[in-house]
Amino acid sequence: MPTLAALHLRISIDVPFDRAYGYAQKPEHFTAWAAGLATSLHRSGDGWVADTPEGPAKIEFSAPNAYGVLDHRVCLHGKPPIDIPLRMVRNGDGTELLFTLLRQPDMDDAMFERDAELVRRDLQSLKRVLRAL
Protein backbone atom coordinates (compact mmCIF):
# COMPACT_ATOMS: atom_id res chain seq x y z
CA MET A 1 0.00 0.00 0.00
CA PRO A 2 1.37 3.47 -0.81
CA THR A 3 1.97 6.09 1.87
CA LEU A 4 -1.31 7.75 2.75
CA ALA A 5 -1.89 11.50 2.91
CA ALA A 6 -2.10 12.66 6.52
CA LEU A 7 -3.75 15.56 8.30
CA HIS A 8 -2.63 16.39 11.85
CA LEU A 9 -5.34 17.81 14.08
CA ARG A 10 -4.71 19.09 17.60
CA ILE A 11 -6.42 20.75 20.51
CA SER A 12 -5.18 22.18 23.80
CA ILE A 13 -7.08 21.08 26.89
CA ASP A 14 -6.74 22.96 30.18
CA VAL A 15 -6.86 19.73 32.18
CA PRO A 16 -3.84 18.01 33.79
CA PHE A 17 -2.36 15.20 31.71
CA ASP A 18 -2.87 12.45 34.33
CA ARG A 19 -6.58 13.25 34.68
CA ALA A 20 -7.10 13.63 30.91
CA TYR A 21 -5.26 10.44 29.98
CA GLY A 22 -6.75 8.50 32.90
CA TYR A 23 -10.20 9.16 31.47
CA ALA A 24 -9.49 8.99 27.74
CA GLN A 25 -7.55 5.70 27.79
CA LYS A 26 -10.59 3.71 28.94
CA PRO A 27 -12.43 2.26 25.92
CA GLU A 28 -15.77 2.43 27.74
CA HIS A 29 -15.46 6.24 27.73
CA PHE A 30 -14.98 6.58 23.96
CA THR A 31 -18.71 6.77 23.17
CA ALA A 32 -18.99 9.84 25.44
CA TRP A 33 -16.84 11.83 23.02
CA ALA A 34 -15.85 9.86 19.91
CA ALA A 35 -19.02 9.90 17.81
CA GLY A 36 -16.78 9.61 14.73
CA LEU A 37 -15.78 6.14 15.93
CA ALA A 38 -19.22 4.83 16.84
CA THR A 39 -22.34 5.53 18.82
CA SER A 40 -22.18 2.12 20.45
CA LEU A 41 -19.12 0.34 21.78
CA HIS A 42 -19.30 -2.84 23.84
CA ARG A 43 -17.16 -5.69 25.03
CA SER A 44 -17.36 -8.89 23.02
CA GLY A 45 -15.31 -11.79 24.28
CA ASP A 46 -11.85 -10.42 24.96
CA GLY A 47 -12.20 -7.33 22.73
CA TRP A 48 -14.37 -4.40 21.76
CA VAL A 49 -16.99 -4.07 19.01
CA ALA A 50 -18.45 -0.84 17.63
CA ASP A 51 -21.71 -0.56 15.74
CA THR A 52 -20.94 1.57 12.69
CA PRO A 53 -22.95 2.57 9.61
CA GLU A 54 -20.88 -0.04 7.69
CA GLY A 55 -21.69 -2.80 10.18
CA PRO A 56 -19.96 -4.09 13.30
CA ALA A 57 -16.28 -3.26 13.63
CA LYS A 58 -13.73 -4.83 15.93
CA ILE A 59 -11.79 -2.10 17.75
CA GLU A 60 -8.33 -2.79 19.13
CA PHE A 61 -7.04 -0.27 21.68
CA SER A 62 -3.46 0.34 22.74
CA ALA A 63 -2.72 -0.76 26.29
CA PRO A 64 -2.60 1.93 28.98
CA ASN A 65 0.88 3.42 29.06
CA ALA A 66 2.95 6.26 30.52
CA TYR A 67 3.40 8.02 27.18
CA GLY A 68 -0.13 9.19 26.39
CA VAL A 69 -0.62 6.82 23.45
CA LEU A 70 -4.31 6.29 22.66
CA ASP A 71 -3.89 4.56 19.29
CA HIS A 72 -6.61 2.23 18.14
CA ARG A 73 -7.33 0.09 15.10
CA VAL A 74 -10.72 -0.28 13.43
CA CYS A 75 -11.33 -3.60 11.69
CA LEU A 76 -14.40 -3.84 9.46
CA HIS A 77 -15.20 -7.22 7.95
CA GLY A 78 -13.75 -7.58 4.47
CA LYS A 79 -11.73 -4.33 4.61
CA PRO A 80 -8.13 -3.56 5.56
CA PRO A 81 -7.69 -2.38 9.17
CA ILE A 82 -7.63 1.38 9.74
CA ASP A 83 -5.00 2.61 12.19
CA ILE A 84 -5.93 5.67 14.23
CA PRO A 85 -2.87 7.42 15.78
CA LEU A 86 -3.91 9.48 18.80
CA ARG A 87 -1.66 11.02 21.48
CA MET A 88 -1.93 13.06 24.62
CA VAL A 89 1.10 15.13 25.56
CA ARG A 90 1.80 17.05 28.77
CA ASN A 91 1.79 20.78 28.19
CA GLY A 92 2.51 22.62 31.43
CA ASP A 93 -0.54 22.18 33.63
CA GLY A 94 -2.64 21.09 30.66
CA THR A 95 -2.67 18.57 27.83
CA GLU A 96 -2.27 18.59 24.05
CA LEU A 97 -4.35 16.09 22.12
CA LEU A 98 -2.90 15.14 18.72
CA PHE A 99 -4.79 13.14 16.11
CA THR A 100 -3.36 11.98 12.79
CA LEU A 101 -6.05 11.43 10.18
CA LEU A 102 -4.85 9.14 7.40
CA ARG A 103 -6.68 9.43 4.10
CA GLN A 104 -7.84 5.97 3.17
CA PRO A 105 -7.34 4.83 -0.46
CA ASP A 106 -11.08 4.83 -1.22
CA MET A 107 -11.65 8.42 0.03
CA ASP A 108 -12.26 11.35 -2.26
CA ASP A 109 -11.63 14.95 -1.15
CA ALA A 110 -15.14 15.42 0.21
CA MET A 111 -15.00 12.22 2.27
CA PHE A 112 -11.61 13.15 3.71
CA GLU A 113 -12.83 16.63 4.69
CA ARG A 114 -15.99 15.10 6.22
CA ASP A 115 -13.83 12.77 8.33
CA ALA A 116 -11.62 15.69 9.37
CA GLU A 117 -14.68 17.64 10.50
CA LEU A 118 -15.93 14.63 12.49
CA VAL A 119 -12.53 14.38 14.20
CA ARG A 120 -12.56 18.11 15.01
CA ARG A 121 -15.98 17.68 16.63
CA ASP A 122 -14.79 14.65 18.58
CA LEU A 123 -11.75 16.54 19.89
CA GLN A 124 -13.99 19.42 21.01
CA SER A 125 -16.32 16.90 22.67
CA LEU A 126 -13.46 15.32 24.59
CA LYS A 127 -12.31 18.76 25.70
CA ARG A 128 -15.82 19.53 27.05
CA VAL A 129 -16.06 16.14 28.80
CA LEU A 130 -12.63 16.48 30.41
CA ARG A 131 -13.27 20.02 31.61
CA ALA A 132 -16.52 18.86 33.24
CA LEU A 133 -14.83 16.07 35.25
Q: What average pLDDT values come out for the chain (133 residues) when binned by 10 residues? A: 93 98 96 80 90 89 97 93 96 98 95 96 97 95
Looking at the DSSP bridge assignments, the partners of residue 41 are: 50
Pairs from 60-64 (Cβ < 8 Å, separation ≥ 24): 61/25, 61/27, 64/25
- pTM summary value: 0.91
Identity (one letter) of the amino acid at 44?
S
Q: What is the pLDDT of residue 104?
A: 93
Q: What is the pLDDT of residue 22?
A: 98
Q: What is the pLDDT of residue 80?
A: 92
Q: CA-CA distance, 58 to 108, in Å (whole number)?
A: 24
Q: What is the pLDDT of residue 55?
A: 87
Identity (one letter) of the amino acid at 78?
G
DSSP 131: H
Q: What is the pLDDT of residue 36?
A: 67
